[in-house]
């Protein structure tokens, strides 16, 4: 038996993932345990969870693998500053102490942290390093359902690579080509994230959601001045408009002048210009992704495509790839960003150490629905509720639970839903979710403002029974990880967007499912099959029997600025801090009206949380 632990850390979205005999056993992001969103620190809690879940100690492992090579990153940093000197001197002076103290000596730091994790009675296993884009490629190909596939990785930057193409075949992963820093699609998109007033590395989803409110009137200027896109999809950025290579900012005054003013300050009202900028960069991103995919199809002759890297979380571009049918099928790693690099690193090492071991692709894939995180057993959950004195109703069997909660949802209630193992990746997929009725015109705004405490323009995703998805969305294949945007089927004939300007369009969406329909009559679809999350599926089936609609609003169980909840204590705290009506923990139903006023969790509850 071979056991490999993969780690990602020290940039953003630290994570750990455990692979045993080639099978993905556990994976989790550190943020879920520390409650610090995008936590970049060493993933101690995530690693402990993976080991405890498998009944292992660190010394039982054959290797620990880090997802990139810090020395190559340091080389890139030095070469960039030397090439651009004396520009960027302030940034160089600011960053060098951090690199010299922490990142340059990362191997020693990792060994120290692993020794702490091992304790005084053990010895850490060998520490290995993968390359950043190889980790991404492995996370995309090895868990995919394909025997062979082209693989495309697009992100900000790894060591040097910003885009890379690979050929996966059986157990082998062959590099084809790559583009290097500073020419990066991920950093180009992040530059616009900064310019539109959102936080880099977390606000990209917001800009993607904002884009349909605008018109792409700046797309030609982006192509003419910022990025030279070749017919094959490769590109070069004009670095005179950017500061991220050597400066402390993403963009500069030349960039500002091109779009008619300075960046929007966070918290400022969003004007039409900002919406149009968002629409423009989304259009250019779509074009680059589509061209790269077509080139890869021509070069490899492959029928299937796997995607990873932060840009692979752009579900609008993914939806375009699917609709254009460049490949017969597309599979996207659900934890496509740096968190997934931990999983990819473990898979790289496992296959390198077991070259003769066969790989049999799993259907629908090897990710177990991304339900790879911790769960709370029924006994622990009962003890938590009893100790806290939280009034609740116990529903003894799954049909009773599904029917009761479906009736509450059909009556307009908003329900927090915590079941089984937590999701790995940025999407809640029916294990740590907030659920609602998609038919209600006021539900989108209510969820954003009263539950999630986030911007009112942001759309919500539908979870739909897989076999009935084509009745409600123009989608002819499964989308289990909420990573494909598809048109809503009952949109007005000939309409590509709701009438009006800007946020006015929100009030004029004309479909039968207004709570999950974006202003361009699209939705980020999650299909729910028969074999992955049965309790969630039974709930949707019960809702369908009541309403005729096999669709629920499914959004992540968290509020703005916080990670998705992990434990029952996390869930109860979030429930009481928002306007949710009911909380379901396993087979226990909590009614908000019956909870003690002003209740705060006791030290005992926090101990459950720490466990």
pLDDT tens, residue by residue, 55-98: 999 999 999 999 997 655 544 454 444 454 445 545 555 555 55
Lowest mean pLDDT among 232-241, 275-284, 363-372, 507-516: 507-516
Q: Which residues contact 209 (CB under 8 A, 6 or more apart)?
A: 457, 458, 459, 518
pLDDT at residue 604, as a whole number: 40
d(C-alpha 295, C-alpha 441), whole Å: 43
Distance CA(188)–CA(289), nearest Å, equals: 13
Pick from 209-213, 403-407, 456-460, 589-593: least confident: 456-460
CB neighbours of residue 417 within 10 Å: 24
Q: With 0.75 as the threshold, say if the pTM is over it.
A: yes
Rounded CA separation 162/309 (Å) = 9
Contact partners, residue 47, CB within 8 Å, separation at least 6: 5, 7, 16, 58, 117
Task: Look at residue 609 in the predicted model and tell me its pLDDT.
Answer: 42
> For residue 356, how far is the Cα from the chain centroid?
33
Query: pLDDT tens, 557-586?
Result: 999 899 999 999 999 999 999 999 999 999
For 260: left if phi > 0, alpha if psi spans -120 to 50, otherwise beta; the answer is left
Kindly give the residue spans of alpha helices, DSSP state H, lying in 41-88: 44-54, 70-84
pLDDT digits (tens, 9 = 90+) for 416-434: 999 999 999 999 999 999 9
Two tokens, residue 610: 């720490």
Instruction: Report how far residue 264's alpha carbon sits from residue 142's, in angstroms, rounded to the nearest whole number.
Output: 41
Residue 610 confidence class, pLDDT cut points 50, 70, 90: very low
Tell me: pLDDT of 611 over 60. no
327 Cβ contact list (under 8 Å, min separation 6): 150, 293, 297, 302, 303, 304, 305, 321
Which residue, 466, 495, 498, is CA-closest to 482? Answer: 466
Strand partners, 479: none
Greatest CA span in the chain, whole angstroms? 70
Is residue 197 left, alpha or beta, with left meaning phi > 0 and alpha meaning psi from -120 to 50?
left
Checking if the pLDDT of 607 tops 60, the result is no
Whether 179-332 and 3-145+333-370 are alike in CATH topology: the answer is: yes
| Residue labelled with tokens 């790989």 | 359
Q: How far apart are CA 48 and CA 45, in angstroms?
A: 5
Residue 28 near residue 44, CB atoms below 8 Å: no
> Could you read off the pLDDT of 348-358 as tens digits, one per residue?
999 999 988 98
Count CB atoms within 10 A of the CB of residue 594. Answer: 10
Using pLDDT thresholds of 50, 70 and 90, give the confidence band for residue 267: confident
- Pairwise pLDDT comparison (410 vs 531), residue with the higher score: 410
* Percent above pLDDT 70 for the chain: 91
338 contacts 313 by C-beta, under 8 angstroms: no
The architecture that CATH gives domain 179-332 is: 2-Layer Sandwich (3.30)
Q: Are 152 and 330 in contact (CB under 8 A)?
A: no
Residues in the chain: 611
Whether residue 86 has a cis bond before it, omega within 30° of 0: yes
State mean pLDDT over 36-55.
97
Pairing verdict, β 161-169 and 172-180: antiparallel
pLDDT band at 589 (very low <50, low <70, confident <90, very high): very high
Tokens representing 79 are 């070469």
Q: Quick one: tokens of 334? A: 């659900």
Instruction: In whole angstroms, give the CA distance from residue 67 to residue 341.
Output: 6
**Helix, strand or coil for residue 220?**
helix
* CA atoms of 214 and 278, how far apart (whole Å): 7
**Residue 280: closest CA among 333, 226, 242, 234:** 226
Q: What CA–CA distance (Å, rounded) separates 72 from 75? A: 5
Higher-pLDDT residue of 222, 442: 222
Instruction: Give the mean pLDDT of the chain.
Output: 91
Task: Provide CB contacts within 8 A for 582, sequence distance 6+.
Answer: 405, 408, 413, 414, 415, 416, 589, 590, 591, 592
Q: What contacts 358, CB < 8 A, 6 or more positions away?
A: 170, 171
DSSP 365: -
Catalytic residue check, 12? yes
Q: Report the Cα 104 to chain-centroid distance in Å.
A: 28
State mean pLDDT over 337-352. 97
pLDDT digits (tens, 9 = 90+) for 448-500: 888 988 888 889 999 999 999 999 999 999 999 999 999 999 988 877 888 88
Domain 378-610, CATH homologous superfamily name and number: Carbamoyltransferase, C-terminal domain (3.90.870.20)
pLDDT of residue 601: 60
Per-residue model confidence (pLDDT) at position 98: 53
pLDDT at 79 (0 to 100) = 46
Residue 344: which of 164, 563, 517 has the closest Cα?
A: 164
**Degrees to nearest 5, angle at CA 405 with 592 and 600:** 25
Look at residue 239 and tell me whether its pLDDT is greater than 60: yes
Topology (CATH) of 3-145+333-370: Nucleotidyltransferase; domain 5 (3.30.420)
**Cα 422 to Cα 16, 28, 124, 371, 533, distances in angstroms:** 14, 8, 28, 6, 11
Label residue 544 exposed, middle or buried (CB < 10 Å: 0-12, 13-18, 19+).
Answer: middle
- Strands 329-332, 3-8: pairing is unpaired
* Catalytic one of 12, 45, 136, 392: 12
> Which pLDDT score, from 0 to 100, does residue 85 have?
47
User: What gap in Å lies between CA 558 and CA 112, rounded to an integer?
Assistant: 33
* Residue range 124-141: mean pLDDT, rounded: 96
Whether the CB-CB separation of 97 and 159 falls below 8 Å is answered with: no
pLDDT at 510 (0 to 100): 83
What residue ranges do the domains of the chain occupy?
3-145+333-370, 179-332, 378-610
Query: Residues 327, 150: contact at Cβ < 8 Å?
Result: yes
pLDDT digits (tens, 9 = 90+) for 180-200: 988 999 999 999 999 999 999
- Cα radius of gyration (the chain): 24
**What's the pLDDT tens digit per position in 362-420?**
999 999 999 999 999 999 999 999 999 999 999 988 899 999 999 999 999 999 999 99
Given this model, what pLDDT does residue 37 score? 95
């Amino acid at each position: 038996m071979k056991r490999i632990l993969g780690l990602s850390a020290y940039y953003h979205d630290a994570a750990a993932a455990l692979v045993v005999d080639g099978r993905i056993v556990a994976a989790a992001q550190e943020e879920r345990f520390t409650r610090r969103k995008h936590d970049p620190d060493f993933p101690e809690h995530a690693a402990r969870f993976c080991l405890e879940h498998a009944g292992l100690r660190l010394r039982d492992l054959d290797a620990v693998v880090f997802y990139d090579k810090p020395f190559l990153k340091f080389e890139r940093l030095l070469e960039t500053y030397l090439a651009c000197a004396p520009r960027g001197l302030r940034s160089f002076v600011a960053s060098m102490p951090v690199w010299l103290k922490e990142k340059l000596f990362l191997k020693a730091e990792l060994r120290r942290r692993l020794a702490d994790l091992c304790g005084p009675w053990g010895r850490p296993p060998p520490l290995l390093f993968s390359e950043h884009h190889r980790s991404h490629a492995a996370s995309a190909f090895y868990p995919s359902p394909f025997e062979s596939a082209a693989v495309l990785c697009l992100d900000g930057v790894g060591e040097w690579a910003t885009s890379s193409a690979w050929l996966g075949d059986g157990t082998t992963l062959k590099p084809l080509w790559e583009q290097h820093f500073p020419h990066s699609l991920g950093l180009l998109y992040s530059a616009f994230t900064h310019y539109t007033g959102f936080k880099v590395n977390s606000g990209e989803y917001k800009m993607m959601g904002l884009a349909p409110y605008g018109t792409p009137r700046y797309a030609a200027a982006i192509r003419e001045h910022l990025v030279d896109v070749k017919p094959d999809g490769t590109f070069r950025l004009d670095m005179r408009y950017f500061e991220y290579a050597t400066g402390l900012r993403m963009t500069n005054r030349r960039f500002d002048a091109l779009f008619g003013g300075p960046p929007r300050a966070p918290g400022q009202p969003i004007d039409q210009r900002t919406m149009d900028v968002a629409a423009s960069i989304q259009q250019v991103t779509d074009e680059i992704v589509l061209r790269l995919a077509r080139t890869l199809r021509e070069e490899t002759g492959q029928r299937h495509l796997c995607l990873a890297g932060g840009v692979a979380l752009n579900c609008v571009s993914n939806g375009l790839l699917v609709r254009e049918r460049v490949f017969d099928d597309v599979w996207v790693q659900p934890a496509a960003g740096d968190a997934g690099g931990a999983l990819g690193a473990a898979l790289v090492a496992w296959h390198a150490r077991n070259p003769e071991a066969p790989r049999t692709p799993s259907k629908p894939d090897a990710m177990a629905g991304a339900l790879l995180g911790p769960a709370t057993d029924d006994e622990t959950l009962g003890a938590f509720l009893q100790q806290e004195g939280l009034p609740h109703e116990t529903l003894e069997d799954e049909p009773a639970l599904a029917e009761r909660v479906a009736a509450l949802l059909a009556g307009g209630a908003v329900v927090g839903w915590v079941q089984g193992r937590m999701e790995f990746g940025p999407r809640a997929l029916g294990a740590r979710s907030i659920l609602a009725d998609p038919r209600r015109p006021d539900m989108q705004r209510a969820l954003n403002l009263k539950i999630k405490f986030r911007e009112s323009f942001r759309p919500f995703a539908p979870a739909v029974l897989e076999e009935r998805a084509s009745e409600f969305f123009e989608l002819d294949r499964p989308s289990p990880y909420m990573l494909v945007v598809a048109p809503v089927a009952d949109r007005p004939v000939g309409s590509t967007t709701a009438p009006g300007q800007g946020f006015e369009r929100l009030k004029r969406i004309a479909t039968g499912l207004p709570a999950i329909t974006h202003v361009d009559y699209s939705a980020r679809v999650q299909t729910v099959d028969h074999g992955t999350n049965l309790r969630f599926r039974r709930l949707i089936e019960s809702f369908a029997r009541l309403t005729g609609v096999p669709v629920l609003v499914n959004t992540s169980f968290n509020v703005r600025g916080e990670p998705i909840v992990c434990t029952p204590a996390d869930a109860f705290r979030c429930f009481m801090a928002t306007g949710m009506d009911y909380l379901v923990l396993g087979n226990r139903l909590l009614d908000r009206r019956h909870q003690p006023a002003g209740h705060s969790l006791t030290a005992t509850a926090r101990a459950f949380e720490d466990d």
